[in-house]
Structure 1
Amino acid sequence: MTSYLFSLLVLVSIAGIAALSLNLQWGLTGMVNFGLFGFYMLAAYVYAQVAASGASPWLALGAALALTGVAGALTSLISLRLADDYLAIVTLGFAECLRLVAIHEEWLTRGSLGIADIARPVTGDGAFLALCLAALLLSFGLLETIARSPLGRAARALRDDPLVAATAGKDVLWLRVKLFGIGAAVTGVAGALHASYYQYIDPTQFGPILTAYAFMGVIIGGRGSNRGVILSAFTVILLLEGTRFLNDHVGWLAPAQLAALRLMLIGVGLILALIYRPQGLVPEYRREVGLPDVRLPDGTAAADAARPGELAR
């Protein structure tokens, strides 16, 4: 039971970090990133290769974070003037290219054989769990600080109406590059922790389903809400892991049927969440700003004068 709880909390931490990164890119800024699994995979392989070379796992973690951040910024830079739909296609294409490289370039990634015996930054399950939880809290703190800063307000303006953001003097193109790069770097933390947790990686561990789970986390938690994303990461992982025990209750089903039933239950859970909580478990906080109490020379409030129809009634 202790080992299962350890695994569950580690997976929640990794999934939470990945979902937080997507929440910055899509939830806060409005940039659709269907290639999240590519940046996740890139970080895992960078971490594994640097750690396998004999370097410190901490150096490997830093290298994974830095390279995924640079890769994210460059990907965004290449697709600067593309609309959201095309940006999604570019990121998906980038991720698929990385996956094909991981499969076929055996001299670099060992292909289907994978990379084994990946060192962890810390020894012991308890220390590694503490590292994952600390990484989750640091990621949350960083992204929550960004969300409440002028940069976060500019990101929301970019999401809601890029033209208005540009009219207000915001450098829309630079904002896209910077925020996408930060999000990719946070994804890199999740990918590196994935590699160090399993201590073995191969191309079959990475695919579009990882991106789908991250989108589930953001949608269920509440787009733009970091608190909701962490709560939904726990919910999604609990749903994914809990359905593994279906065999104890419906053992008469074949393995393929059990897998299909598991996916169906996950889909039903997502649909119910969209129906009953379309705004998410914890909706994004929006501060309402009212009009100042400015009086006209005749004593009429300016806010009332702006609504002549109401005064007529």
Structure 2
Amino acid sequence: MTAYLVTILVIVAIAILVGLALNFQWGCAGLVNFGVVGFVALGAYTTALLTPVVGWFAAMLAAAALSALLSVVLALLSIRLADDYLAIVTLGFGEAVRLVLLNEDWLTGGALGIAGIPRPFAGLVAPEHADLALLGFAVALVGIVYLTLEALVRSPFGRVLRALRDDPVVAASLAKPVLILRIKAFAVGGATMGLAGAMHAFYMTYIDPSQFTAITTSYAFMAVIAGGRGSNTGLMIGAGTIMLLLEGTRFLKDLIPALDGSQIAALRLGGVGVGIVLLLLLRPQGLLREPQRKAASLLGEPDLADMADPSLPPSHPQEI
């Protein structure tokens, strides 16, 4: 049972990393990325190929760097594209990565994939504690990425990204470098997806193209929508909830013996879909609203609400 719980928590950690990346690109900057799975796969294969050569830490850095570099290239190619066409380009990128992984046997192993991927700290912990060590590493990585992205979102850079998301024309009219901002947002998100792919490779120790399908992108969008677009804290709650529901409902087969595995899988995905629709209808901002900073606090001035006389009802302004 402990091994199963560790597995679930590692899967949740990887889903949170992917969701944080998409939340930064789409939730904060408004850049639709339907090629999430392509960047995750790129990170996983880069890690798998380089870990035996340069070690796990350098391989992770290389995975993040390569994913960020290709994100920059993709952003440059889409310089003149609107959001709808950008989504199509990223979707094509994800499919192109899958085809390369499947057909370039000399590099990726083709459909057979790559096996025997070394894990971090493999020689420092006993084999029976390897999963727990990897879980601790995954939680630490999630914490570092969360704090880094949260700092970026709350910084002036993050506020400019939200302005770009809400109205790029206004942002450009205020002399904001729209192209540079798009490139930076794509690069940061792509690097985070590369780290998520590295964690996937470390945990599975074997990867092949069938592990990277469009459902990974769907889960990421579900997590962002459920948690609240633009809210990293909400994203963590949303990703954790969705992955726990998907994995926990595997036990429905024991409760409903008449259903086979494929029917249970369809019910799981259908249930999550219904839940997302209800959430959009009843709470369109998600579980947690995007954090907002008031203009008064940005200027270092007290909020007018804090200056009001508490003895007066809220509907009546304070008399001077």
Question: Is 1:126 paired with 2:132?
Answer: yes
Q: How many residues are treated as equivalent by the alignment?
A: 291
Question: Is 1:150 paired with 2:156?
Answer: yes
Aligned to 1:171: 177
Aligned to 1:37: 37
Question: Is 1:246 paired with 2:245?
Answer: no
Task: Give the Å deviation of 1:136.
Answer: 0.4
1: CA distance between counterparts of 2:149 and 2:207?
Answer: 28
Aligned to 1:109: 108
Query: What whole-Å deviation, never above 9, does each CA across 1:38-74 have from its counterpart, x for those lacking one?
Result: 000000000001124x321111111101100111111
Question: Is 1:160 paired with 2:160?
Answer: no
Task: Give the Å deviation of 1:289.
Answer: 2.7
- Relative to structure 2, which stretch is displaced further, 27-36 or 238-247? 238-247
Task: Give the Å deviation of 1:8.
Answer: 1.4
- Relative to structure 2, which stretch is displaced further, 122-131 or 236-245? 122-131
Q: 2:294 aligns with which of 283, 288, 291?
A: 288
Task: Give the Å deviation of 1:197.
Answer: 0.4
Q: Is the 8 A contact 2:111 2:209 kept in 1?
A: yes
1: CA distance between counterparts of 2:28 and 2:288?
Answer: 14
Q: 1:183 aligns with which of 174, 189, 195?
A: 189
Amino acid at match of 1:64: A
Aligned to 1:299: none
2: CA distance between counterparts of 1:63 and 1:176?
Answer: 22
> Counterpart of 1:273 in 2: which secondary structure?
helix
2: CA distance between counterparts of 1:122 and 1:278?
Answer: 43
Query: What whole-Å deviation, never above 9, does each CA across 1:251-283 have from its counterpart, x for those lacking one?
Result: 111333222222222212222222222111111
* TM-score, scaled to structure 2: 0.88
Question: Is 1:81 paired with 2:62?
Answer: no
2: CA distance between counterparts of 1:281 and 1:256?
Answer: 30
Listed as ranges, the gaps of 5+ residues in structure 2 are 123-129, 300-320
Aligned to 1:13: 13
Task: Give the Å deviation of 1:166.
Answer: 0.9
Amino acid at match of 1:43: G
* TM-score, scaled to structure 1: 0.90
Q: Is the 8 A contact 2:25 2:32 kept in 1?
A: yes
Query: What whole-Å deviation, never above 9, does each CA across 1:124-158 have from its counterpart, x for those lacking one?
Result: 22221111001101111111001111100110010
- Relative to structure 2, which stretch is displaced further, 223-232 or 276-285? 276-285
Aligned to 1:100: 99
Query: What whole-Å deviation, never above 9, does each CA across 1:152-172 have from its counterpart, x for those lacking one?
Result: 011001000001111111100
2: CA distance between counterparts of 1:209 and 1:282?
Answer: 24
2: CA distance between counterparts of 1:132 and 1:256?
Answer: 30
> Counterpart of 2:295 in 1: which secondary structure?
coil
Question: Is 1:265 paired with 2:271?
Answer: yes
Query: What whole-Å deviation, never above 9, does each CA across 1:204-263 have from its counterpart, x for those lacking one?
Result: 000111001000000000000000001111101111101111101111113332222222
Q: 2:213 aligns with which of 207, 216, 235?
A: 207
Task: Give the Å deviation of 1:176.
Answer: 0.3
2: CA distance between counterparts of 1:125 and 1:51?
Answer: 18
2: CA distance between counterparts of 1:202 and 1:174?
Answer: 35
Question: Is 1:255 paired with 2:261?
Answer: yes
Query: What whole-Å deviation, never above 9, does each CA across 1:85-104 have from its counterpart, x for those lacking one?
Result: 11111111111001001111
> Counterpart of 1:59 in 2: which secondary structure?
helix
2: CA distance between counterparts of 1:10 and 1:255?
Answer: 23
2: CA distance between counterparts of 1:122 and 1:168?
Answer: 49
- Consecutive aligned runs of 4 or more in structure 1 exceeding 6 Å deviation: none
Aligned to 1:228: 234
RMSD: 1.4
Aligned to 1:65: 64
2: CA distance between counterparts of 1:261 and 1:284?
Answer: 31
2: CA distance between counterparts of 1:220 and 1:258?
Answer: 22
Listed as ranges, the gaps of 5+ residues in structure 1 are 293-313
Aligned to 1:300: none
Query: What whole-Å deviation, never above 9, does each CA across 1:163-191 have from its counterpart, x for those lacking one?
Result: 11111111001100111111100111100
Aligned to 1:310: none
2: CA distance between counterparts of 1:254 and 1:185?
Answer: 39
Q: Is the 8 A contact 2:253 2:260 kept in 1?
A: no
1: CA distance between counterparts of 2:27 and 2:272?
Answer: 22
Amino acid at match of 1:187: M
